[in-house]
Amino acid sequence: MVRRRPDESDIRIRPPRSTRPRSKDRPSHKDSVSALVVTVDRGRTLCRTESGVLVNAMKARELGKNSVVVGDHVNLVGDTSGTEGSLARIVAVQPRRNSLSRTIDDAGAFEKTIASNIDQMIIVAASANPEPRYGFIDRCLAVAYDQGIVPIVIMTKSDLNDPREFLKAYDALDVKSFATQRGADLTEIKNALQEKSSVLIGHSGVGKSTLVNALLGEVQRATGDVNDATGRGRHTSSSAIAFELPSGGTIIDTPGVRSFGLEHIDKSRVISSFEELGRAIARCPKNCSHDEEMCALNDYVAEHPERALRVESLRRLLASSSQPLI
């Protein structure tokens, strides 16, 4: 009997075990250091520990594809000294209290998270150059109500145009608002931001970075001019970054946005912010858009004409999102 010579078909190749942990006992990281994410730039994350040390870190592989954003509370291991050339690892991200997210447009499925764990959303608009837009502010307010964030509107460049007439549209929403200009006294704004985590949101060129520099008392962010031909601002900030305010609290400056999609918004949470309208809305027909002839809010306005502006504000916010009610 002739013995067969083995060939490549007889060789059994074991599957790779690189993705399989060598042990079921995973590290507990009991010695990890708590920190706040200050900025994220091209895969590297700058964190500030509870002792105030700024540490460069990278996300651990075990976190998978979960993103880390400004405002996250994380746990660090490794070299947390903050010395030049040191690098720590982010091994855990604490649960978020809330988050500020947007989609590219109302039909977009991709949701981009800008910041997390926010107390206040500072919606910055210019009184002129570029012109303020009700639609953009309405969309920001819808996100704020959806996430339980307190909204504040700040109108910059008030020396170019009086913003009071524009802000009347938000009187019924009881939204706190301020008007300011370059060199103005910012005491009231500083008091509103004290001991709070606040995020600035607005179009390019409205003066977000200029406002941050004024609040900090020093130049920390580059500023730019508005394009005379297009009326739009130039991008001077490429990533979100958190600063500690001298009076206490944190302010997060974000790059200018040109679109603010609301595909991810839950309209029922926006409606819940209008508590006094809840009883009337409960009488609405099923799947009511709250802007139709059979809507119970029409009868409510007839009975309480002083609440007409409040109902109009709610309808405007709901119209800013294309997502249907469930």
State the sign of the Cα–Cα–Cα–Cα dihedral 190, 193, 197, 200: negative
- Residue 326: the pLDDT is 37
- 28 alpha carbon, distance to own chain's centre: 31
User: Would you state the structure tokens that stand for residue 165, as one six-digit string?
Assistant: 């007439």
Residue 307: which pLDDT band, with cuts at 50, 70 and 90? confident
What is the fold, at CATH topology level, of the domain defined by 33-93?
Answer: OB fold (Dihydrolipoamide Acetyltransferase, E2P) (2.40.50)
Is there a contact between 198 and 251 (Cβ–Cβ < 8 Å)? yes
Which of 323, 316, 202 minimizes the C-alpha distance to 265?
A: 323
DSSP secondary structure letters along 23-65: -S-----TT-EEEEEEEEETTEEEEEETTS-EEEEEE-GGGTT
CATH superfamily of 99-253: P-loop containing nucleotide triphosphate hydrolases (3.40.50.300)
Residue 137 has pLDDT above 80, yes or no: yes
pLDDT(105) > 70: no
Read off the pLDDT of residues 41-59 as tens digits, 9 standing for 90 and up. Answer: 877 899 999 999 999 999 9
Could you tell me the CA-to-CA distances from 227 to 49, 181, 260, 263 in Å, in that order? 40, 19, 21, 30
- Look up residue 263 and give its two tokens: 């595909």
DSSP assignments along 235-254, one per residue: P---S-EEEE-TTSSEEEE-
Contacts of 68 (CB under 8 A, 6+ apart): 37, 40, 45, 59, 74, 90, 93
Short-list 59, 21, 52, 14, CA closest to 34: 52
- Model confidence band, residue 233 (pLDDT cutoffs 50, 70, 90): very low
CB count in 10 Å sphere of residue 211: 24
Structure tokens that stand for 253 in this block: 């400056």
Share of the chain above pLDDT 90, in %: 42
Token pair for 237: 């900030």
242 closest CA partner among 100, 115, 68, 121: 115
User: Residue 321 — very low, low, confident or very high, per pLDDT cuts 50/70/90?
Assistant: low
Spatial distance between the Cα atoms of 94 and 35, rounded to a whole number of angstroms = 10
322 vs 191 pLDDT, higher one:
191
> Which of these, 115, 117, 200, lies nearest to 153 by C-alpha position?
200
pLDDT score, position 228: 46
pLDDT of residue 221: 62
Does residue 130 have a cis peptide bond before it, meaning omega lies within 30 degrees of 0? yes
Q: How many helices (H) and strands (E) does the chain have?
A: 8, 13
CB atoms within 10 A of CB 316: 17
Domain ranges for the chain, please list them. Answer: 33-93, 99-253, 267-319
Mean pLDDT of 69-86: 94
φ/ψ region of 148 (left if φ > 0, alpha if ψ in -120 to 50, else beta) reads: left
To 10 degrees, the CA torsion angle through 213, 234, 251, 111? -170
Tens digits of residue pLDDT in 156-201: 999 999 999 899 888 878 899 999 998 899 999 999 999 999 999 9
Highest mean pLDDT among 72-76, 103-107, 278-282, 287-291: 72-76
